[in-house]
Structure 1
Amino acid sequence: MVDTQQGGFKRVWFITGASRGIGALIAEAALADGNAVVAAGRNVKAIVERLGESPALLPVALDVTDEAQAKAAVQAAVEKFGRVDVLVNNAGFGLLGAVEESADKDVRRMYDTNVFGLLNVTRAVLPTMRAKRSGHVINISSIGGYRAGAGFGVYSSTKFAVEGITESLYAELKPLGIHATVVEPGYFRTDFLDGSSLIVAPEVIDDYDETSGAVRRKATQMNHNQPGDPKKLAAAMLKLVDAPTPPLRLPLGTDTLAAIAAKNEYVTQETEIWKELSGSTDFAD
């Protein structure tokens, strides 16, 4: 086993979905910052082509839906670098369509990756973090993880799950000296809206044309015109990890900040309107 400190690395990062998009950018930023990176993805060749070769880089094959592969990838990381300091659960994809339009096979596949895959990798990494009583679990959620809307309902439900898992991890891991943060990016100029990262429901129901149909059209117009700069997102991740007291939630992008403010205002107003009925269900004694 190689001691991380002997390699002169600042931290050891384990990043899923690291062959392209945000995952690759985070890996590049972490390497440039003097860290070691375990770059995990289904295609190791694509990882090497994107990130190159370096003593600080360990590309590993990982289908996050395979629990045995997750354990093997973490074991390889520990054997190479001695530990894992930062886990970035980034692997995932989207589904665009009304809830009724979303096919069962697509929904299950997305949950297998976005939720159960995240759990597979997290369970594989946590024992090494607990042994060191240090570490940081970062789960990539979305603007849709805080508020759902037409067209992305089922995708948002996977990110709502990620938010709940991270809230619990935050409470469970804090006494052990381990941080947990859920990152909520808005629309960033990546390939997320391309076919490589987003399934568009093939069934189209005309009754949803003004709701999810409008979102389908907007997604096409927005593709590669999103307001967020993905390189700045990667840089923000380094600042997050360097922070002495990382937050439970980190929204990224002015669109996410606006969405959070709008939902909070809506919930406050609705709760106030219905509070009499809401408070009427306790036992009288």
Structure 2
Amino acid sequence: MTQNTSVFLITGCSSGLGREIVIAALASGFRVIATARKVDTLTGLEEKGAKVLPLDVTSTPEALKEFAAKAIAIYGQIDYLVNNAGFAQGGAIEEHSPKEITDQFNTNFFGLVNTTDAFLPHFRARKAGTLVNISSVASIGGQPGAGIYAASKAAVDAVSDTWAQELAEYGIRSISVQPGNFRTEVLNPTNGRFASNVVDGYALAHGVVSFLSMHLAGKEPGDPVKGAKNIITVVTKEGQLPVRLALGDDAHPKLEKFYHERLGELEATRELSTGTSFA
């Protein structure tokens, strides 16, 4: 296969969707830099041709700038930054401690923003680059039992949408990918993080957490191999990207239903939503 000169840098590649995105990018002929907090988890990807680097996205902005310089030096460029690193926090919102909420946002949101900021000078100087921000279908419409996780991903959607507008003058594109349930390790009970302060009741939230971790884990409908291939296909097309990509046979109809319902609400409340300007 003829190698594509473009370079992907992907965060959170030790397992799951991040790992499959690396493999899909390599299979499409791209050069890839795979990262994870523990670099020894990336040995198999290195054997497939990826360069590997350790990265903790919760590092200080100064450390992330040093990392960016080291990563750029490998091939002299980065063309696609895939912000995939993250984890899911379970529990009703009230059950979370301030530290648990902060930890969730430090990885899923602030880590993503700070890592991107470390690479933006490179992208702006080249007047090119693509940001691929891995969000979740949970970011839309709320997610009982995972509200803090959903909030962190909704924040990812917001900055990704804004980057698509702010960075257009530099030729930089941004897309938020909203996967449904893919068969990865994210729902495995041994990998999950759960709120420490359990409150009696919350039947809906606790029921969702139990279903996801005890019944859906290992039986998710989404094939991460297929999902990763679709991500690579969409983000490497030339021209304007969609602002959002619903990913999964469960994600697309859920989001379609949500937007139809919101449009119906807008129409139903039109009279009271409007007419509020000074006469």
TM-score normalised by length of structure 2: 0.93
Structure 1 counterpart of 2:36:
41
2:208 is matched by which residue type in structure 1?
A: V
Question: Matches of 2:47 and 2:67 in 1, distance apart?
Answer: 18
Structure 2 counterpart of 1:217:
210
1:171-204 deviation line (CA, Å, top 9, x unaligned): 0122221111100000000001124643122333
- Equivalent residue for 2:244, pick from 231, 246, 249: 249
Structure 2 counterpart of 1:277:
272
Structure 1 counterpart of 2:181:
187
Structure 2 counterpart of 1:3:
none
Stretch deviating more after TM superposition (58-67 or 85-94): 58-67
Structure 1 counterpart of 2:8:
13
- Equivalent residue for 1:60, pick from 48, 53, 62: 53
Q: Does residue 133 in structure 1 map to residue 130 in structure 2?
A: no
Structure 2 counterpart of 1:118:
112
1:189-232 deviation line (CA, Å, top 9, x unaligned): 000112464312233323211x1022012112100101100000
Residues 137 and 197 of structure 1, relative CA distance in 2, 3 Å threshold: farther
Aligned CA RMSD, in angstroms, stands at 1.7
> Does the residue aligned with 2:201 lie in a helix, a strand or coil?
helix
Question: Matches of 1:234 and 1:169 in 2, distance apart?
Answer: 22
Structure 2 counterpart of 1:4:
none
Question: Matches of 1:166 and 1:229 in 2, distance apart?
Answer: 25
Question: Matches of 2:161 and 2:22 in 1, distance apart?
Answer: 25
Residue 9 of structure 1, CA deviation: 4.1
Question: Matches of 2:4 and 2:65 in 1, distance apart?
Answer: 23
Residue 31 of structure 1, CA deviation: 1.7
Structure 2 counterpart of 1:72:
66
Residues 53 and 72 of structure 1, relative CA distance in 2, 3 Å threshold: farther
- Equivalent residue for 2:102, pick from 97, 108, 113: 108
Question: Matches of 1:217 and 1:57 in 2, distance apart?
Answer: 37
Is the 2:11–2:85 contact (alpha carbons within 8 Å) kept by the matching residues of 1?
yes
Is the 1:136–1:178 contact (alpha carbons within 8 Å) kept by the matching residues of 2?
yes
Structure 1 counterpart of 2:151:
157
Q: Does residue 170 in structure 1 map to residue 164 in structure 2?
A: yes
1:90 is matched by which residue type in structure 2?
A: N
| Number of residue-to-residue matches in the alignment | 275
Residues 241 and 196 of structure 1, relative CA distance in 2, 3 Å threshold: farther
Is the 1:58–1:77 contact (alpha carbons within 8 Å) kept by the matching residues of 2?
no
List runs of 5+ in structure 1 lacking aligned partners.
Answer: 1-6
Is the 2:222–2:248 contact (alpha carbons within 8 Å) kept by the matching residues of 1?
yes
> Does the residue aligned with 1:221 lie in a helix, a strand or coil?
helix
Question: Matches of 1:164 and 1:199 in 2, distance apart?
Answer: 24
Residue 280 of structure 1, CA deviation: 4.4
List runs of 5+ in structure 2 lacking aligned partners.
Answer: none
- Equivalent residue for 2:259, pick from 243, 264, 270: 264
> Does the residue aligned with 1:254 lie in a helix, a strand or coil?
coil
Residue 251 of structure 1, CA deviation: 0.6
Is the 1:111–1:158 contact (alpha carbons within 8 Å) kept by the matching residues of 2?
yes
Question: Matches of 1:33 and 1:189 in 2, distance apart?
Answer: 22
Question: Matches of 1:197 and 1:144 in 2, distance apart?
Answer: 18
Percent of counterpart pairs with the same letter? 36
Is the 1:147–1:259 contact (alpha carbons within 8 Å) kept by the matching residues of 2?
no
Residues 225 and 242 of structure 1, relative CA distance in 2, 3 Å threshold: same
